[in-house]
Amino acid sequence: MNQPRGVGVTAVFVAAARALESARDDRLFNDPWAGEFVRHSGWNPPTDELDDSSRDELATWVAVRTKFLDDFALDSVDTGCGQVVLLGAGLDTRAFRLPWLRQVNVYELDTPDMVDFKAAVLGDTTPEVAVRVVVPVDLREDWPAALRDAGFRSDIPTAWILEGLLLYLPDDAVATLMDGIGKLSAPGSAIGASITNVDPTATMSDAHVVRDTLISREGWLSLLHWNGPEDPVAWFGSHGWRATALPTEELAQRYGRTMPDKSVLTQVRPGVRWLVSAVRNQD
């Protein structure tokens, strides 16, 4: 089995955080595959090397954004979206674990290497309700054509999920991605996204890097490109979407969680991590 590489490594870290949340008695969701992805990746998280605030921050951030986007996906389908698209799906398992009220196509786009790794872990597991459609494609390539070839229909409303994706794309690639989404979005389409305007390259010091991970600090920094807007509502508006943005801390409280007081991501450069839901403006 090929282990995740490059940006794919970050999906393993997110899976580890989802496994931690799933093990809680008061969990916000249950992802029974998350721990399996981590084990098959070959990484044994040495949690004793992370201070409590760093570990709690990552786990809480991932738990909150996962819950928010779970609810977004279900609400969007319940209110008319006929298909769901996960761009940079990574090790997402929403097609399997969400309680879909009706059959819906869930398209998962990611690189062939990530698709192969995920398939090797999942085996012959299939969703009970959703129809899962895997599209192996690099988002720097012609992903709209690959999506259409897989059966996607641009004439029906779509729920798009951009979770932990945009910061790994250069500015021009982010603009191209949003343009592509807009062209494929019928009236009634929606976007759920995680956005941060905290500069990750300024906050990841040597003290925050764990030994024996799947990637070095230099390798991680080389993956990070886009630093999000200070005003995500205005930014989505410039791309033709009417958005609502909530700070992570506010949602954490709503979900019964608390972000650490001294966030390693905001000590160096103040900023906000947002969770956004947006609907397509009517022409």
| pLDDT tier for residue 13 given thresholds of 50, 70 and 90 | confident
Report the pLDDT value the prediction gives residue 135, as an integer from 0 to 100: 98
CATH class label, 7-280: alpha beta
- Tell me the per-residue pLDDT of 95-145, one tens digit each, with 9 for 90 and over: 999 999 999 999 999 999 999 999 999 999 999 999 999 999 999 899 999
| 38-42 contacts, C-beta under 8 A, 24 or more apart | 38/12, 40/1, 40/117, 40/120, 40/121, 41/3, 41/4, 41/12, 41/15, 41/117, 41/214, 42/3, 42/214
pTM beyond 0.85: yes
- Residue 260's φ and ψ, nearest 5 degrees, are -55, 145
Statement: residue 47 has pLDDT above 60: no
Q: How many CA atoms lie within 13 A of 65 on its CB side?
A: 27
Polymer length in residues for the chain: 283
- Tell me the per-residue pLDDT of 174-204, one tens digit each, with 9 for 90 and over: 999 999 999 999 999 999 999 987 655 554 4
* Tokens 């409280």 belong to residue: 253
Task: For residues 271-277, give the mean pLDDT.
Answer: 86
Domain definitions of the chain by residue range = 7-280
Instruction: Confirm if 100 and 77 have CB atoms less than 8 A apart.
Output: yes
The single-letter code of the amino acid at 78 is: D
Strand residue runs (E) in the chain: 83-87, 105-110, 131-136, 158-162, 190-196, 241-247, 273-280
- DSSP letter at 90? T
